[in-house]
């Protein structure tokens, strides 16, 4: 079975990464590369390494079954795997399999290679969501809707502004996923406690280079804060999807009716009530986001292991890492479809805007007319409540109030929707800058080097947000000297 999540929520391309066949294929590749690394440093004859590669078994369902059968004897999955591989290769050359290695050299390095591939799919899916949100933001920037705080109408905004803010947040998730990919795209083949006691560091370097990973210092295992960062990035992406889906659910209520989920011609909203057009996709996405937050918690709990390792993290990761990867991919892609197909009822949204949303504009107009802020506030509050209770237009109540020193022209300007939304396109400028400082460019600048204290993580985040870019640019412009506090990556 692919992955761990039920098939309903398993995108096939992501699920393929987490099949037993794929897992053991990657284990085998680590083992074969390690043998070739030994040959490369002259530790074993090159001919032996070539024979091992040539006679390496094909990993298929039959191979997986053999490993599982052997594990019932060894009660150790990696030991069972090594036994089966050596038996399939045969001859004295087979003894070089797993030479000088410990189980986590194979498992952790292979798992990180898989997570890097999974992260590539997630980054692509996040990019799809950003693009869809940006397109809807530009399409709907001039479509007004009531902005709501505490569930109550506050001031006007536009649908485009909503989508633009979601796009910016989804892009931050994409950046987090990129950083998480860098965190997990590492490997280690340094032995039982990470001291290279029985394996040359050059073997580790060879294996990691071939797999597109960076060798990192480790104990017996790669530090689990890296995996926790990956799971947090997944949970954060899920939280953004939940934010969007929650808004859809609220605006789709019968009493509001400002949006509707896409609905196919043969789709049924209820088994009992034919009129129903429930926001079921949005509800599903909100539910799955809860699972992702749970996996983030388990990732943090896996960080603290005993001494140089225990395996309390192992059982958790067999579920959490595939599940989180599959679910994140699923929710990002489904959210993209939701955003692209969302039906916006612009007329209903405009009709729903209460004229009470102009209360702050009235307040400021009264202050401009010479009233104290508190006096103005009490007048506006009194008239707003009266208009609401009587079902009258707020503007009419104000016009009839002798305490309101505003003529009809001034009042008309106060209630001008275009005036309060005159800066609505400003948020689109932020969308234009989404790729101005791409996270991948930061990785390229680091040249794949693991930098400790040479590039502070907070400054990377600041640079990605654009807040530190100007300082860095000023330093370069003034003769190439970095600004105070600016860190440089190693060459």
- CA angle 18-109-78, nearest 5°? 75
Cβ-Cβ contacts under 8 Å for 282 (sequence gap 6 or more): 245, 246, 248, 249, 252, 261, 338
Q: How many CA atoms lie within 13 A of 130 on its CB side?
A: 21
Provide the 3-class DSSP secondary structure of residue 405: coil
Active site residue 325: no
Q: Both ends of the chain: CA-CA distance in Å? A: 45
Contact status, residue 136 vs residue 339, Cβ threshold 8 Å: yes
Provide the 3-class DSSP secondary structure of residue 241: helix
Cβ-Cβ contacts under 8 Å for 409 (sequence gap 6 or more): none
Provide the 3-class DSSP secondary structure of residue 136: helix
d(CA 210, CA 206): 6
Q: Determine which one of 76, 95, 197, 270 is catalytic.
A: 270
Please name which of 190, 150, 171, 187 lies closest in space to residue 236, comparing C-alpha atoms.
171
Active site residue 270: yes
Reading phi first (left if > 0) and then psi (alpha if -120 to 50, else beta), residue 378 is in alpha
* Residues 322/323/328/329 CA torsion (nearest 10 deg): 60
Strand runs labelled E in 339-378: 343-344
Please name which of 379, 404, 384 lies closest in space to residue 394, comparing C-alpha atoms.
384
Q: Which two tokens stand for residue 248?
A: 């859809």
Annotated catalytic sites, by residue? 150, 270
């Amino acid at each position: 079975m692919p992955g761990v999540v039920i098939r309903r929520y398993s995108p096939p391309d992501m699920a393929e990464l987490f099949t037993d066949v794929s897992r053991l294929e990657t284990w085998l590749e680590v083992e074969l590369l390690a043998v070739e690394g030994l040959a490369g440093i002259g530790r074993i004859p090159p001919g032996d390494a070539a024979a091992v590669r040539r006679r390496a078994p094909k990993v298929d369902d039959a191979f997986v079954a053999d490993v599982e059968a052997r594990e019932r004897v060894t009660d150790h999955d990696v030991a069972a795997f090594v036994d089966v591989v050596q038996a399939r290769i045969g001859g004295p050359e087979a003894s070089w399999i797993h030479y000088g290695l410990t189980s986590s050299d194979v498992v952790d390095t292979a798992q990180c290679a898989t997570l890097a591939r999974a992260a590539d799919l997630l980054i692509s899916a996040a990019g799809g969501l950003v693009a869809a949100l940006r397109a809807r933001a530009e399409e709907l920037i001039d479509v007004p809707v009531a902005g709501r705080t505490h569930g109550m109408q506050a001031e006007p905004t536009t649908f485009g502004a909503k989508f633009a803010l979601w796009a910016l947040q989804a892009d931050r998730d994409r950046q987090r996923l990129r950083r998480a990919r860098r965190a997990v795209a590492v490997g280690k083949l340094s032995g039982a406690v990470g001291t290279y006691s029985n394996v040359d560091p050059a073997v580790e370097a060879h294996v990691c280079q071939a797999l597109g990973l960076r060798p990192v210092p480790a104990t017996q295992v790669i530090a689990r804060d890296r995996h926790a960062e990956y799971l947090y990035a997944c949970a954060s992406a899920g939280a953004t999807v939940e934010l969007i889906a929650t808004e859809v659910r609220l605006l789709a209520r019968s009493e509001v009716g400002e949006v509707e989920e896409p609905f196919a011609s043969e789709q049924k909203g209820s088994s009992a009530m034919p009129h129903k057009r429930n926001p079921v996709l949005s509800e599903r996405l909100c539910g799955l986001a809860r699972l992702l937050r749970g996996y983030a918690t388990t990732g943090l709990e896996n960080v603290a292991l005993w001494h140089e390792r225990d395996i309390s993290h192992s059982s958790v990761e067999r579920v959490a890492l595939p599940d989180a990867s599959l679910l994140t991919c699923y929710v990002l892609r489904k959210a993209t479809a939701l955003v692209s197909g969302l039906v916006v009822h612009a007329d209903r949204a405009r009709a729903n805007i209460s004229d009470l949303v102009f209360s702050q504009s009235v307040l400021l107009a009264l202050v401009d007319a010479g009233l104290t802020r508190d006096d103005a506030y009490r007048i506006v509050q009194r008239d707003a409540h009266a208009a609401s209770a009587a079902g009258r237009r707020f503007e009419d109540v104000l016009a009839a109030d002798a305490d309101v020193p505003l003529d009809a022209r001034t009042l008309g300007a106060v209630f001008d929707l275009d005036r309060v939304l005159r800066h609505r396109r400003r948020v689109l400028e932020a969308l234009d800058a989404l790729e101005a400082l791409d996270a991948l460019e930061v990785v390229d600048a680091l040249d794949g080097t693991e930098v400790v204290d040479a590039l502070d993580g907070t400054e990377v985040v600041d640079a990605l947000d654009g807040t530190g870019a100007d300082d860095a640019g000023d330093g370069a412009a003034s003769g190439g000297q970095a600004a105070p506090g600016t860190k440089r990556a190693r060459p």
